Amino acid sequence: MEKTLVIIPAYNEEKSIRSVIQRVKENLPEAEVLTVDDGSSDHTRHWAMEAGAKVLSHLFNLGYGAALQTGYKYALGEGYDMVVQMDGDGQHDPSFIPHLLAIIQKGEADIAIGSRFLVPPAIGSEGSLYQPPFLRRLGMRFFGTISSLIIRQKVTDPTSGYQAMNRRALEWASSDQFPCDYPDADVIIMLHRAGFRIREVAVQMFENRDKKSMHGGWKPLYYVFKMFLSILVTLMRK
């Protein structure tokens, strides 16, 4: 039987992390859950352990990409065959994990990306559906268009952190090529150029009740600049 690990990077998610882990276990009881506590100052670590997840903690906040890669390297070292990554704030509906994994298990793709902009096959949990702010939605569409043109495949949700991958893609994601801050459209392009098969899968996402975002304040400007630069460098590589 293939070993599956669900990786949940979390930073100050004490309000939601326990319920997220519990719902993951309900929908995929055979999988193990790893929470990567990215230097939280609250009780994220405690509640993750209470919910039955394994926990790895950073001493300092290193960023979303670094937290993901900590999980990737753990999965690689422990011999997992498939990995699912999702956020710890409750935006990603765990009932769609089997849909992502099915694409990997059937060999239809190396990495399956959950898209909130495709029509989901079924309605999962109750809650308010995700409606990103106008500027964020515009940025998603812009980088989705760039990604689609470069990889010659429709990309509707380039910023989705709800993904599944096989062992081969996991090995690549554990390398130094993986960005440590905002792995989004640039990673999709990198994966494509490295020969991996990518497929979007319809999933359901919900609003972040706490209205937190890694793209708050001046960060959107940095994000746009960084993403342009990262895509440019990616295209220049062999």
Domains of the chain: total: 1
Q: Is the pTM of this model over 0.85?
A: yes
Domain that holds residue 184: 4-236
Q: Are 63 and 134 in contact (CB under 8 A)?
A: no
Using one digit for the tens of pLDDT, what is the confidence trace for 184-219? 888 999 999 999 999 999 999 987 666 555 545 556
Q: Annotate 147-205 with DSSP letters as a single string.
A: HHHHHTS--S-TT---EEEEHHHHHHHTSTTS-SS--SHHHHHHHHHTT--EEEEE--B
Q: Are 37 and 139 in contact (CB under 8 A)?
A: no
Instruction: Give the CATH number of the domain where residue 140 resides.
Output: 3.90.550.10
* Helix, strand, coil shares, percent, the chain, to 5: 40, 15, 40
> Which pLDDT score is estimated for 235?
80
**Is a pLDDT exceeding 90 seen at residue 225?**
no
